[in-house]
Structure 1
């Protein structure tokens, strides 16, 4: 039986924002429980935060990265192309209402927008950690990766196979053609080879 990660997410949110912000955290976590989600859920958020913990030494502002993880998929709908932008705007308004410093608000929003393409600059240590955490699932073992791919397909369940398969393959090819999938030294060493093998395998299944 899967353990509910909600309490741990709330603990993490309160550690970042303080107990006074608990109701805001509850509203934010509830977004990741929306019924249309199958992959972009509380489990994905919890997994990201765990990877961020592992990569913390590679970030310049680990709190900004953790905030960005909480917000990066706060707005998510498969029929929209502006999820990251809307999520970034939500981070700006929410953190401003909590009295966060302008510098933090700007950095969190920038990081959330960065997840639209996962292409941080080489010197962008915060962006590297966030993007690596978001894509770490690509390096899962075979069963874990297959569960991820199935969950993504379930989110697009209204899209027929003849449309989904070439579209998904194009997205995966775009990732596979990048010079490097992961940006921090730790993530490259741990994840790069396995992720590329998984991408190649799914592309072959989609196009074979």
Structure 2
């Protein structure tokens, strides 16, 4: 990479004021991930004295701190990693899951349909810049891709990942309702009647599954409550469509 091809953009002071506690929670997880790979730090003349791993971490934090991210922000990443901590012993490649969860919504555009693909590409470039091995990058890339919830899950790591990403469905009613409100805020540009119809369709695609969650752990923890939350919300959305609200 040429110096002229790269502009380092760390989080702004305003972002640190709003999300600093989440950055601080993520930082030791990221540092441990780097140390496990035995990667030698390299000086970057274009990054204000930061090492490549610091650059990637700060850049990614900035992306998650962009305005109009009401749910898919750095708080969501921290929540996912907290969930993973409870099931880390079940994973085959826990470090790849951590890297994937950290990056899985790094690119988020509500007007686009390929956010997971772009997020995986963004993550791969960052990990390559740091010096991660190709097999690690490939596995972490798959972790990002399956969070589109359309890509076929192929192993326990991917199953845990999609369950973690959907864990919000099974949270207490007030937490789920807050999540649902934030999704609407992210799609505020969509007319209300169209939003209700499409949102009901998306949520029903999960409710109509024989099982929402892939793993026994998350089925036992969240399945029943998730079905209650989804069923209630779909009912309200479809009623709005019928009333023409």
TM-score class, shorter: over 0.9
* Partner residue in 2 for 1:78: 110
Q: Is the 8 A contact 1:132 1:182 kept in 2?
A: yes
Moved >4 Å (runs of 4+): none
CA distance in 1, matches of 2:19, 2:137: 34
After TM superposition, give the deviation of residue 118 of structure 1 in Å: 5.4
Contact preservation (8 Å) 2:145, 2:151: no
Give the TM-score of the pair, scaled to structure 1.
Answer: 0.94
Question: What's 2:31 paired with?
Answer: 14
Look at both structures and tell me which one has the larger radius of gyration over its CA atoms: 2
* Alignment-derived partner of residue 100 in structure 2: 68
- The answer to whether the 8 A contact 1:60-1:126 is kept is yes
What's the C-alpha RMSD, in Å, of the aligned pairs? Answer: 1.7
Structure 2 distance, partners of 1:36, 1:119, is: 26
Task: Name which of 160, 173, 182 aligns with 1:142.
Answer: 173
Gaps of 5+ in 2: 1-17, 36-40, 42-50, 240-245
Q: Bigger shift: 177-186 or 162-171?
A: 177-186
Mapped pair 1:45 → 2:62? no
Tell me the equivalent position of 2:197: 166
Structure 2 match to 1:106: 138
CA distance in 2, matches of 1:4, 1:91: 23
Once residues 50 and 16 of structure 1 are traced to their aligned partners in structure 2, the CA distance between those partners, rounded to angstroms, is: 15
Give the TM-score normalised by the residue count of structure 2.
0.80
Secondary structure, counterpart of 1:159 in structure 2: coil
Aligned: 1:125 with 2:142: no
Number of aligned residues:
207
2:21 is equivalent to residue 4 of structure 1: yes
**Equivalent position of 1:204 in the other structure:** 235
SS of the aligned residue for 2:21 comes to: coil
User: Which SS does the other structure have where 2:200 is aligned?
Assistant: helix
